[in-house]
Each structure stands twice: as C-alpha cells, then as structure tokens.
Amino acid sequence: MGNKKNNMKKIKRALISTWDKNNLKKLLSKLRKEKVELISSGGTYKEIKKLGFKCLEVSNFTGSNEILNGRVKTLHPKIHAGILSVRKNKKHKKDLIKNKFKEIDLVIVNFYPFEKTLESTKNHRIILENIDIGGPAMVRAAAKNYNDVVVITNPNQYNELIRELIKNKGSTSLSFRQKFSKEAFAETAYYDALIANYFNITLKDSFPKKKILFGNLIEKLRYGENPHQESAIYSFSKKTKLNQLNGKQLSYNNYNDIFSALAISKSLPKNQGTVIVKHTNPCGVSINKNNLKSFKDALACDPLSAFGGIVACNFKIKKKLAKEINMLFFEVIVANGFDKKALRILKKKKNLRIIDSTKTKIIDIENILTNFNMMLIQKPDLKKFTKKNFSLVSKNKPNSKTLKDLIFAFNICRFVKSNAIVIVRNNATIGIGGGQPSRIDSCKIAINKMNKFHNLKDSDEILAASDAFFPFVDGFEKLIQAGITAVIQPSGSIRDKEIIKFANETKTKLVFAKTRHFKH
C-alpha cells in the first residue's frame, strides 16, 4: 500500500499546447476543479481564455517573448527543466530553486498537422513549416520523465485522464503515466517517420541507410492464417480506404485475398473487369463491357475453385449481377460501389462481407517481406503494358485483337504464383496453372482446368501466357498439343531460337515480352 501511495503524483501545473483544440472544455473544467495552474501559448492560449478559463501565457511564464514567428516559444530551460526534473533528486530541486523554475506535472500537446499537410499540398516551404519542433521536444521530455509527469498527445485520451483524476482525487498512478508515456513515444516516432519518409521521397531515395516503417492500427484480427497465429492490420494512413458495408469482421486471409483481388482488378480496363480469387491466386478473370457477362465468364474459368472465394469488380454492382452472385457462396464481394437494390439483395446474407473499394487506389509503395530479423523490400510490379513492351517474333503474326488478348493473359500471369501459365479465350481466362516448381506441371494444370470446364470449338482462338521463358520446348509443345494457337512469354532463354523455330514449324503465333513477371 505504501508503494502504491508513493507512486501517486498530484497534478499542480499543466502546460497545454495543441493544434487540435477539440474537446478541451470538459478537460479544462476538471483541471480547474482540481486547482491545476494552466500554462499555454499562441492559439491554444487564446482558445482557453475564450472558453472562460484562467491561463498563464508561456512568454509570461518563461519571461521570454516568442521569436522567429513562433518557431521558438516553448524551447526554453524553464519549460524543459520543469518537465524533466526528477522530483526525488535533491540536486534537481536545488537547480529549480536557484533558477526560480517551477515543476510541470502535466503536458498536453499534439503536433502540427504534418500528415494532413502532405495530403493537401506539394509546396515544400509550407510542408517544412508544418514540421513541429517544440511539441515533440516537450512530449519526449514528459514521456522520459513518466515517473513524475503525465503526457497526453491526443484529444481521444482526455476522457481517460479525467477518469483517472476522478478516481485518484487529482493524482495519477504510475501505471497510467507509463501507458501514456509509451503512447507518446509511439506518437513522436510515427511523426518523425512521416518526415523521414517525405524526405526520402523528395530526394528519390527508395532504399535509405535506415528504413523506418510506420502505421496506424486498424484493428486486431481474430487470428492470422491459422488460429494459433496472432494478427492485426495496420494502415500507412490514418484509416483504410476499404469501406465494409456488411458481414462479419474481415480475417487475415480475407485481407490477403482482397489485396490480391484488388491488385488484379485495378490493372484491368475501368468498369469492365471481374476477378475471382482463392488463396490469393486468381481462379477466374474476365474483361467485358457487359458487367453480368464479365462475372459469368470469370466464374466459368473454374467454378469449383471459385466456391468460397472473393469476387472483385472494378465497376458498380447492380441488381441483376447481385442476384447472380447471391446464387453462389462467396466470402467477400468487392466493387466500386453498389446500387441500393443490389445492396439490399446482397445483404440478405448476413455474413457476406461487402466491401466498397471506390476510394482504394493502387499506389507505388514498397512490398515488404520480413523474416529472421531481416526485411526484403522491393518496388511493386505495376508496369503498364503497351505494344512497345512486346516483340512479334514468329512468322505467323497475331492481329491486333489476338495481341490484345495475349497482353491480357500476360497481365494476369503476373498475379499467379510462379511458375504461372494462363490460358485465355476472348478476354477471359479458361485455364490457370501456378505455384509449381516445374513450368510443364503448370501447363498441365492449366490445360486440365480448361478441358474440365470448357467445351472448345475448332474455331476458338485459344491463347496462353507464361510469366517467364520456356527453358525447353516441352512445355510449349504441351500447350500447342492442347489447341493453343498463340503464346506470349518473356525472352531471355539461351534456347529462345529453338522456341521460335518450333513456333514457326507449328504455325503458332509467338510474342516475346521484354520483361519477366514472377510472383513467388
């Protein structure tokens, strides 16, 4: 009991300097009730006075006027000595008495809106002026001295502070101060990481000597890939751009599949693409201006694998399509909006997770893989394909429609686990094979899927894509024997000439891509 009592610290003096001035009145009322002396500066001082509370301006407290247009106001020994002094340290006490400094027991600070500034302007001068110096300095000082000082960095923490003061009659416990110290250091670290990242982008330094990761907790998930794994999702911004309209909480696997589905759908022509994903691999993709046909063609690729998967449409889902979707079991439906009738139909399934991805954009941010206390970082594979990225190397040349279909197939290939083979017909996948150590095995899987679910006519033009070159003729030959009439693959094999020769002998249209697109 004695230790607990000694851990309690009475708040006698508070320094308040906030950019976000919301919810101050309720907290100020409690501090006045506890007879806490208030010190503040600039706009916060004016706001406190406007709300009708007594307050001492920082310049009067320190005896020094603000200078450099407000850049220097709280950066003063009287402020930092008051925050950093260890109450039980006799030398610290003597120093305070000698310099006529006073202890500061509570620091309430939030920072200049650097993150919001980045979202609203590219003006470097304005961005620099929104880098807070004095605020983080005070917060770090208070957080370091948590044994004696409370630090509050967010208006969302005010109610918890009020409850603590009520519970302890104007004092705070050590555990309370430790908790908010931890949150304060996280806040300053996040703030500095944003700044460091901004300068890395400005100076085009993708791989600096020190890599700082930052993120905001969106939610703790029930578990990870398996029930014994803990999991959470973070966002690099303040909130996720995925708007959940219905259904159960998203799981780790749901998010993983959604990311994969969105990456594919956002790479397709707007308002035309449907993607069905299972275990991060596409099991059906289609482009069609008729949205209902787009969905049906994607589903037809592999309807068995689609069961329990995720559907992503890069268009608004309407009533007819919603009815079609509701006839089957899917875990998640992602789209660029839903009309009212479609939403009403889809919501009949209470557990169906419905996600509006209208505001979600694919951005050029690094892919990160961590293991063994190390990070692998790479730029994402967001290359936009044009005809210039490909060479027509066979004697039998593809026409513009065939080339377009081949490029569609090659684009899907990069989203399938390597080794990847994608077979298409009329801008829709009809066979996908991937994740195999052997490319010929992926050919067999794609061909088997095609033959299992599709009745092919002799007049059908069937095309295939490979995410990397065929090292031998055998895989290529397997595709030709299955009825494929055109193939697209990256060049780079020492046997490229053999592949071209075989294509010419079999009158197969062959296109070489200038880039490889593995997904391991």
By the 8 A CB rule, do 234 and 214 touch? Answer: no
Q: What are phi and psi of 440, to 5 degrees?
A: -65, -30
**Residues with catalytic annotation?**
144, 279
Task: Retrieve residue 512's tokens.
Answer: 């070489």
d(CA 32, CA 397): 83
Q: What are phi and psi of 203, to 5 degrees?
A: -90, 5
Buried-state track 361-387, b at ≥16 Cβ within 10 A, e below 16: eeeeeeeeeeeeeeeeeeeeeeeebee
What is the helix (H) or strand (E) element at residue 165, kind and residue range? helix 158-167
Residue 433, number of CB atoms within 10 A of its CB: 25
CA distances 206 to 118, 209, 487, Å, are 18, 10, 35
SS3 for 181-242 is HHHHHHHHHHHHHHHHHHHHHHCCCCCCCCCCCCCEEEEEECCCCCCCCCEEEEECCCCCCC
d(CA 138, CA 183): 14
SS3 261: helix
Cβ within 8 Å of residue 477, ≥6 positions away: 502
DSSP state of 289: S
d(CA 449, CA 488): 19
d(CA 162, CA 308): 48
